[in-house]
């Protein structure tokens, strides 16, 4: 017993030393790199055979780079849309995620030399015959990843498009006919669409661009280190081997292997490959925010109407219906209150098409939030209805009213007055909850903020503007509700004049 | 006018009414007296159909309720009955979202389908008759207890019921208002209304009710002309109650 305790103690001390030592080493020679592994094939993604492990050509490339730099690679999973901000915040030191060196990004971060030449591929449904080139999409809806070379090209060409957070969602919506085409980098297209029998490529790959590694501004030393490492793995054929393994090698890559002098002016490189920048334009941004605000208002008001209409029968059914109706209503309420609205929206958007019901995103958000808030409204109604004394029902019945008439003329108006303040609360909350619609790629205000801010880095000022938009929508509603409340109140007490003299006499 | 035969009623296993029988002639006033828990309020609720009777029968102005009827048929007859019976509740139960006049015209307009203008003219007359000429547009919250009761009376009378039921009309009033209410009810009796008044106040019923019904333990102990019952109760239980009540 004693010996075992002793051994354990010695082992822990040894382990502690090891940990301390390793962390000290790590601090010196780590290469912390960030990428978005969700829907991230073939760049970096969870191994389908072993989801604990990440694989991907960029993962292998970073391992090779790190080896050349004599550093230990540490992968930091992150979110594509906020990847530049995360780099700036210091969550990791480099971005290796098929990042294109656009001019607007170049204002925020440094770029290494290119390591891959990509092209874009347009994909359509197998049965599609109208679309062969991007030109054919002018009146159609094209899906793409947000904040990519593809999305910027579409923006520049003024082709209507819808931004997705990952390629899976875009190709699925294409299958479901929610959109008409998808424009994506060839590596992603090869992995997610090429094998799909319901989809086909439209035309040949086009619009050349490069992937570069992103670094924080001021990290010149690390940039030199990275550039040298890229040169090394390009020269010794490591990069080619990795790309061939992932079936990503093509003749265009050979351009990069042509010896480029280290420290060549980056301006030239950018001129060669950067055709996808959009400079940030405040007027345009505010215009787009206004459009997003309109979508938000549409979703919120539609959802409010659904919630108001469905909430009432739910409340009545739950408190007065036959037992099986009560059980059904309770089940509905508990389901929608007990599960996150985000999960409900994803279910409606991606789950329902399985049974043949594919709604567009904005309608899904409208219906989903409406159904969700109906559950809450039913409880507000129920509490309000139960707050009406039984004597009110009895007085109405005694005057010969039917239950329906008594409900409509006597109970409901009183219950409405009680329900109004909590209802107002809920609807202000609903306004803000419309932001979950970003999960299903609806271009509402929160999505717009994320995308515009990620593209420009203007989180602060865009945030102020977006907050102003939200307040401009919710404050008038709160004000309106308060006025209505006060008016209802005044109706009751406006004439609390002193009793007439005749009465007192 | 009203004919009650052997009415029984059980609530949660307690036999509240144990075979009550009596008659009320048209244009007379019946006072129902008895201690708390004697079943007098339950009896009143059976008379306007808010409680269903288990056994016996109630007949009022041609509508007959029987304990043996099916639920649907019973409900149908209760709806007919309520056109003939008005109720003034102990706590009035005015509709707080409607003005005094709104309370009075609500049922004539929406139940009887009366024209709003006509209903309002009649409503104003009724409110004037109960002494509320100044309060047509006031809301219940701003009315005193006595005024609220008079709105409730006008509201019940607006449906032109053959019979008006009163549950404890004096309990929410101060003594001076009690005198006013009695005077008001007497005026309506003189105009030919039939009334059933449940009260524990014998003073209030004296000089208003034509006959008194003493209820104890869910049974009728004694039913006699008011003067007779008060002066010389035949049953010792009635005598006991009257002694304590005075």
Write the residue in B49, B93, B110 that is nearest to A395 by C-beta: B93
CA distance A42 to A248: 9
Backbone torsions φ then ψ of B136, nearest 5 degrees: -50, -45
Cross-chain residue pair B111–A398, CB shorter than 8 Å = no
Return the pLDDT at A22: 52
Average pLDDT over residues A333-357: 88
Q: Give me the total of CB pairs closer than 8 Å, taking one residue from chain A and one from chain B.
A: 80
Q: Do B134 and A500 touch (CB under 8 A)?
A: yes
pLDDT band, very low/low/confident/very high, at B154 (cuts 50, 70, 90): very high
Mean pLDDT of A334-350: 90
Q: Which of A167-176, A239-248, A444-453, B42-51 has the lowest mean pLDDT?
A: A444-453
Length of chain B in residues, anyone?
A: 246
Q: Say which of A400, A414, A502 has its CB closest to residue B83.
A: A400
Q: What are the pLDDT digits (tens) for A379-432?
A: 999 999 999 999 999 999 999 999 999 999 999 999 988 998 899 888 888 988
How does residue A359 score in pLDDT terms, banded at 50, 70 and 90?
confident
Tell me if A401 and B111 make a contact (CB, 8 A cut-off): yes
Mean pLDDT lowest for which of A48-57, B98-107, B234-243?
Answer: A48-57
- For residue A331, what pLDDT is reported? 95
Flag whether pLDDT at B23 surpasses 70: yes
Contact B138 A495 (CB under 8 A): yes
The structure tokens listed for B103 are 């309370």
Give the residue from A79, A82, A110, A80 showing the smallest Cα distance to A94: A110
- Tell the residue number behind the tokens 């230990």, with chain if given: A72
Does A468 have pLDDT greater than 60? yes
SS3 call for A485: helix
> What tokens appear for A464 in the block?
């102020």
Q: How confident is the model at residue A503 (pLDDT cuts 50, 70, 90)?
A: very low
**Which position has the higher pLDDT, A15 or A213?**
A213
pTM: 0.69
Q: Please state, in angstroms and rounded to a whole number, the distance separating the CA atoms of residues B165 and B153.
A: 10
Buried b (16+ CB within 10 A) or exposed e, B69-92: beeeebeebbbbbbbbbbbbbbbb
Work out the percent of chain A whose per-residue pLDDT is above 70.
Answer: 86
Confidence of residue B44 (pLDDT cuts 50, 70, 90): very high
Chain B residue with the nearest C-alpha to that of A395: B93
Backbone angles phi, psi at A138, to 5 degrees: -55, -35
The per-residue pLDDT for A33 is 95
Closest chain B C-alpha to A324 CA, distance in angstroms:
21
Tens-place pLDDT, residues A253-308: 887 766 544 444 444 344 334 434 455 678 888 888 898 999 999 999 999 999 99
Provide the pLDDT confidence category of residue A180 given band limits of 50, 70 and 90.
very high
| Test mutation, B49, B61, B96, chain A, max A CBs within 10 A | B96
Quick one: pLDDT at residue A254?
Answer: 81
A71 or A354: whose pLDDT is higher? A71
Q: Residue A459: what pLDDT?
A: 82
Amino acid A17: pLDDT: 54
The conformation of residue A412, written as its DSSP 8-state character, comes to H
CB contact under 8 A, A493 and B142: yes
Q: What is the pLDDT of residue A320?
A: 84
| The pLDDT of residue B139 | 93
Query: B218 CB contacts (<8 Å, ≥6 apart)?
Result: B9, B15, B16, B17, B18, B20, B38, B39
User: Residue A452: pLDDT band by 50, 70, 90 thresholds?
Assistant: confident
What pLDDT, on the 0 to 100 scale, is given for residue A277? 45
Q: What is the mean pLDDT of residues A33-56?
A: 86
Determine phi and psi for A484, rounding to 5 degrees: -60, -45
Which tokens sit at A98?
Answer: 């098929």
CA atoms within 13 A on the CB side of B131: 21
Across the strands, what pairs with A72? A30
Q: Residue A73 — very low, low, confident or very high, per pLDDT cuts 50/70/90?
A: very high
Residue positions counted in chain A: 505
* Mean of all residue pLDDT scores within chain A: 84
Q: Is A363 exposed, middle or buried (0-12, 13-18, 19+ CB in 10 A)?
A: middle
Is B133 touching A (CB cutoff 8 A)? no
Q: What is the mean pLDDT of residues A99-111?
A: 87
pLDDT beyond 60 at A107: yes
pLDDT of residue A458: 79
Q: Does B210 score more than 70 pLDDT?
A: yes
The C-alpha of B70 sits at a distance from chain A's nearest C-alpha, in angstroms, of 19
A399 contacts B107? CB cut-off 8 A = yes
Radius of gyration, CA atoms only, chain B: 18
For range B228-234, the mean pLDDT = 93
- Which residues does chain A have within 8 Å of residue B81's beta carbon, measured at their own beta carbons? none
| pLDDT value at residue A279 | 57
Taking residues A320-331, what's their average pLDDT? Answer: 92
Interval B64-90: pLDDT, tens: 999 999 999 999 999 999 999 999 999
What pLDDT shows up at residue A349?
Answer: 85
Q: Which pLDDT score, from 0 to 100, does residue B244 have?
A: 86
Q: Which of B107, B138, B165 to mutate to test the interface with A (most CBs of A within 10 A)?
A: B107
Q: What is the ipTM of this complex?
A: 0.94
Residue A459 · residue A84 · CB < 8 Å: no
B113 interfaces chain A, CB cutoff of 8 Å = no
Residues 143..182 of B with a Cβ closer than 8 Å to A: which? 144, 147, 155-156, 159
| Percent over 90 (pLDDT), chain A | 44
Q: Which residues contact A431 (CB under 8 A, 6 or more apart)?
A: A296, A300, A470, A473, A474, A477
CA dihedral A204, A209, A211, A212 (to 10 degrees): 170
Residue A260: predicted pLDDT: 47
Kindly report, residue by residue over B114-146, the tens digit of the pLDDT: 999 999 999 999 999 999 999 999 999 999 988
What is the model's pLDDT at position A208?
Answer: 87
pLDDT of residue A449: 87
- What distance in Å separates the CA atoms of residue A144 and residue A123, rounded to the nearest whole number? 10
């Amino acid at each position: 017993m004693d010996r075992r305790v002793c051994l354990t103690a010695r082992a822990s001390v040894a382990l502690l030393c090891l940990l301390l030592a390793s962390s000290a080493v790590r601090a010196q020679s780590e290469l912390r790199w960030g990428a978005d592994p969700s829907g991230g094939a073939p760049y970096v993604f969870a191994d389908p055979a072993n989801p604990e492990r990440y694989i991907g050509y960029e993962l292998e490339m970073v391992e090779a780079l790190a080896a050349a730099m004599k550093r230990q690679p540490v992968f930091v999973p992150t979110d594509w849309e906020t990847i530049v901000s995360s780099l700036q915040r210091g969550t990791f030191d480099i971005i290796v995620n098929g990042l294109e060196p656009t001019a607007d990004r170049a204002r925020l971060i440094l770029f290494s030399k290119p390591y891959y030449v990509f092209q874009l591929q347009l994909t359509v449904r197998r049965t599609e015959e109208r679309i062969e080139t991007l030109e054919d999409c002018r009146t159609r809806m094209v899906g793409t990843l947000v904040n990519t070379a593809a999305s910027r090209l579409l923006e520049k060409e003024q082709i209507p498009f819808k931004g997705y957070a990952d390629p899976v969602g875009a190709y699925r919506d294409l299958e479901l006919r929610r959109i008409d085409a998808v424009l994506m980098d060839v590596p992603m297209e090869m992995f997610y669409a090429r094998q799909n029998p319901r989809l086909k490529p439209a035309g040949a790959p086009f619009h050349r661009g490069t992937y570069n590694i992103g670094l924080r501004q001021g990290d010149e030393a690390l940039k030199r280190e990275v550039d040298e490492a890229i040169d090394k793995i390009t020269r010794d054929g490591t990069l080619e081997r990795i790309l061939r393994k992932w079936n990503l090698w093509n003749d265009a890559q050979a351009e990069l292997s042509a010896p480029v002098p280290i420290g060549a002016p980056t301006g030239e490189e950018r001129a060669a490959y950067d055709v996808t920048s959009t400079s940030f334009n405040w007027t345009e941004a505010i215009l787009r925010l206004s459009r997003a605000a309109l979508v938000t208002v549409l979703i919120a008001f539609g959802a409010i109407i659904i919630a108001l209409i469905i909430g009432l029968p739910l409340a009545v059914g739950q408190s007065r219906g036959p037992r099986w109706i009560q059980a059904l209503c309770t089940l509905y309420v508990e389901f929608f209150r007990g599960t996150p609205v985000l999960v409900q929206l994803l279910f409606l958007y991606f789950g329902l098409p399985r049974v043949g019901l594919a709604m567009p995103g904005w309608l899904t958000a409208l219906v989903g939030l409406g159904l969700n808030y109906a559950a809450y409204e039913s409880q507000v109604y129920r509490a309000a209805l139960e707050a009406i004394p039984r004597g009110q029902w009895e007085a109405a019945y005694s005057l010969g009213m039917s239950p329906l008439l008594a409900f409509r003329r006597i109970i409901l108006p009183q219950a409405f007055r009680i329900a109004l303040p909590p209802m107002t609360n809920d609807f202000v909350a609903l306004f803000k909850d419309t932001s979950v619609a970003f999960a299903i790629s609806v271009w509402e205000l929160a999505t717009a903020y994320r995308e515009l801010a990620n593209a420009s880095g203007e989180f602060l000022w865009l945030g102020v503007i977006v907050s102003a938009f939200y307040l401009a929508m919710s404050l008038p509603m709160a004000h309106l509700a308060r006025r209505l409340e006060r008016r209802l109140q005044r109706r009751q007490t406006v004439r609390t004049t002193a009793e007439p003299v005749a009465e007192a006499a | 006018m009203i004919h009650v035969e052997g009415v029984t009623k059980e609530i949660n296993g307690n036999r509240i009414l144990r075979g009550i029988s009596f008659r009320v002639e048209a244009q007379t006033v019946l006072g129902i007296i008895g201690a708390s828990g004697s079943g007098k309020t339950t009896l009143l609720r059976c008379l306007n159909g808010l409680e269903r009777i288990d056994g016996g029968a109630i007949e009022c102005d041609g509508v007959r309720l029987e304990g043996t009827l099916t639920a649907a048929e019973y409900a149908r007859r209760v709806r007919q009955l309520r056109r003939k019976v008005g109720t003034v509740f102990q706590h009035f139960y005015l509709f707080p979202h409607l003005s005094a006049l709104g309370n009075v015209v609500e049922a004539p307009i929406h139940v009887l389908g009366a024209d709003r203008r006509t209903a309002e003219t009649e409503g104003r007359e009724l409110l004037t008759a109960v002494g509320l000429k100044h309060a047509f547009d006031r809301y219940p919250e701003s009315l005193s207890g006595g005024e609220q009761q008079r709105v409730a009376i006008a509201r019940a009378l607006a449906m032109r019921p053959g019979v008006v039921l009163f549950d404890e009309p004096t309990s929410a009033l101060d003594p001076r208002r009690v005198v006013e209410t009695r005077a008001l009810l007497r005026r309506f009796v003189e105009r030919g209304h039939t009334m059933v008044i449940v009260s524990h106040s014998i003073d209030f019923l004296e000089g208003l009710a034509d006959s008194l019904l003493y209820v104890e333990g869910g049974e009728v102990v004694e039913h006699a002309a008011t003067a007779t019952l008060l002066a010389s109760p035949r049953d010792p239980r009635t005598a006991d109650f009257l002694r304590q009540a005075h």
